[in-house]
Structure 1
Amino acid sequence: METTELLKKVRKIEIKTLGLSQNIFAGQYHSAFKGRGMAFSEVREYQYGDDVRDIDWNVTGRFHRPYVKVFEEERELTVMLLIDVSGSLDFGTLGQLKRECATEIAAILAFSAIQNNDKIGVIFFSDRIEKYIAPKKGRKHILYLIREMLTFTPNSKKTDVGVSLEYLNKVMKRRCTAFVISDFYTRKDFSQELRIANKKHDVVAIQVYDPRAKDMPDIGLMKVIDAETGHEMYVDTHDVRLRKEHKRYWMEREKRLHDTLSQSRVDSVAIATDDDYVKMLMSLFAKRNR
């Protein structure tokens, strides 16, 4: 991609997503994600009614009388975007590619974060960690992240969501809010990594999918290529049984994903490339505020 063309794309995404984050998401983002973590503030002498579990035994031993730790709501969050860059994201039949949709969603979240004085970082993943960008603040940093989202070329085309969650736990020592943005086309079970990550952090799953993956169109003979393996085959979409089987497979896969997320108590939303993702994200935020 030429520099001039890239700058135009970055600017276009900035104008669109910054406006949305300022006008629509500011309040909802703040209430949905702020103040969910507790940070250590100070110690003070034990008072009647204090929770004994908050006693700081090191300070208590030093002064020979009980002291307790005092916590306060964290005023500043660290937000991590775990972005799937595998081959299956380079697909789209209605309006835009899944990768383009994922980039806009990530940009909205990033601008919402910096408006609340939060740090924002990124983990690009396939079936391995492709790139880690440490959390920082500021518009310049956000624009750098958007440029990377638009131009990054992964070494692998396959997907392993569990790898990204495992890496998150290694690099983020303090609690953060982590958005996993993916189509979740993974053959590996990631329920254990998800469960562990959501105990330490606040994990939110955003599934991006193409509506044609859900309902196969009746358009006759069609060449199908698996973007992650390169396998090619022709299918006859006139075949009613084939379309029904495809729909059944999709529903089963979605149920497995939903079960995995709900069992780990992870908030989630599924967004099609032709959906109004503003409305879908607002719905997600509202669900967290109930």
Structure 2
Amino acid sequence: MTVTSSGVSASLSRLQLQVTRRLDGLLQGEYLGLLPGPGSEAGESREYRPGDDVRRMDWPVTARTTVPHVRLTEADRELETWLAVDASASLDFGTGTMLKRELALAAAAAMTHLTVRGGNRIGALVGTGDAPVVRIPARGGRRGAQALLHRIARIQDDPGPHPAQGASGIGELLDGLARPPRRRGLVVVISDFLSPVAGWERPLKRLRVRHDLLAIEIVDPRELELPPVGVVEFVDAETGRVHTVQTSDPKLRTRYAKAAAAQRDEIADALRGAGAVRLRLRTDSDWLMDMVRFVVGRRHLRDRGSTR
């Protein structure tokens, strides 16, 4: 699926049809979001289970029964979801069935399908690097969701610097979601998270105080390991620097794989430390099936009474 300015509508229509066919029937109830968040209305108490949020401890019941209990809450009847979409130049890369940028749009389409129902609203912030962050107001209904996806797909055609002229600024994107403060809801961050962790870890933690967080990590297999294909020139899409690499060197490929694994471990640790639920999508795999497994897994956790 290649999204171009002339074929945005047709591409999105095919994408939304694909998403609808595969994901229908996996929604978690009329008023529950993709992540079974705690909601805001007080409900009943039950015994504490490993994985429960300790901030929901019901201390009066715990003291009365001498057994740890947590306070359940009723899900909000309307969920507000915000997408933070990284559209920087590092996503203009892909050696699988699609570019990372296309996979990011596909993930956004799946999220809108999974959240827009029962009066739920969805909005987005899209960052392209040096250009100002684009804010798309939250709207309800499928028509509003379709308009949002069209806007995200066309961001690269907007006036101003092209994404290739600037590096990723995920931290700025996340800060934009924190100001002004919004009602409690779900924040979905879609990015390859290749910018320095120090720039986005703290803003992500601040969002977790008020919102449930889902981090969708976009990955291409060549970012994890190199194939032995001889001399290759690599161009850094965000700086323009050119690197010539002899990929036939097994020691170089080993060092590359170790460095890539360490980088991904650092990203995973930062996301976990921020309290975000992590979903990895790859350009060379069946991303919709990965999404299905994720949704089913979250529903299973909800049924067991644990949301983390």
Q: Give the TM-score of the pair, scaled to structure 2.
A: 0.77
Mapped pair 1:262 → 2:262: no
Mapped pair 1:150 → 2:153: yes
Higher helix share goes to which structure? 1
Residue 27 of structure 1 corresponds to 28
Give the match's secondary structure for 2:27: helix
CA distance 1:31–1:114, shift in 2 (3 Å): closer
Give the match's secondary structure for 2:85: strand
Note the C-alpha offset of 1:96. Answer: 0.4
Note the C-alpha offset of 1:148. Answer: 2.1
CA distance 1:28–1:84, shift in 2 (3 Å): farther
- 1:139 is aligned, of 117, 137, 142, to 142
Deviates more, 1:203-212 or 1:183-192: 183-192
Note the C-alpha offset of 1:284. Answer: 3.1
CA distance 1:34–1:270, shift in 2 (3 Å): closer
For residues 197 and 33 of structure 2, the distance between their equivalents in structure 1, rounded to whole angstroms, comes to: 34
Mapped pair 1:230 → 2:240: yes
Which residues in structure 2 correspond to 1:1-290 (within 5 Å)?
1=4, 3=6, 5-23=7-25, 25-27=26-28, 30=32, 32-34=34-36, 36-38=38-40, 73-127=75-129, 129-153=132-156, 155=161, 156=163, 157-189=166-198, 190-285=200-295, 286-287=297-298, 288-289=301-302, 290=306
Give the match's secondary structure for 1:18: helix
Residue 46 of structure 1 corresponds to none
For residues 265 and 173 of structure 1, the distance between their equivalents in structure 2, rounded to whole angstroms, comes to: 18
Does the CA contact (< 8 Å) of 1:127 and 1:158 recur in 2?
Answer: yes
For residues 17 and 218 of structure 1, the distance between their equivalents in structure 2, rounded to whole angstroms, comes to: 36
What is the percent sequence identity of the aligned residues? 24
For residues 143 and 12 of structure 1, the distance between their equivalents in structure 2, rounded to whole angstroms, comes to: 12
Does the CA contact (< 8 Å) of 1:114 and 1:120 recur in 2?
Answer: yes
Note the C-alpha offset of 1:241. Answer: 1.2
RMSD: 2.5
Unpaired runs of 5+ residues, structure 2, are 43-58, 61-72
For residues 188 and 247 of structure 2, the distance between their equivalents in structure 1, rounded to whole angstroms, comes to: 36
In the alignment, residue 142 of structure 1 is paired with which amino acid? Answer: A
Give the match's secondary structure for 2:281: strand
Does the CA contact (< 8 Å) of 2:170 and 2:195 recur in 1?
Answer: yes
In the alignment, residue 277 of structure 1 is paired with which amino acid? Answer: W
For residues 251 and 264 of structure 1, the distance between their equivalents in structure 2, rounded to whole angstroms, comes to: 20
For residues 121 and 18 of structure 2, the distance between their equivalents in structure 1, rounded to whole angstroms, comes to: 21
Q: Give the TM-score of the pair, scaled to structure 1.
A: 0.82
For residues 276 and 106 of structure 1, the distance between their equivalents in structure 2, rounded to whole angstroms, comes to: 16
Cα distance per residue 1:86-130 (max 9 Å; x no partner): 001110111100111111111011012113431010110144652
Give the paired residue count: 261
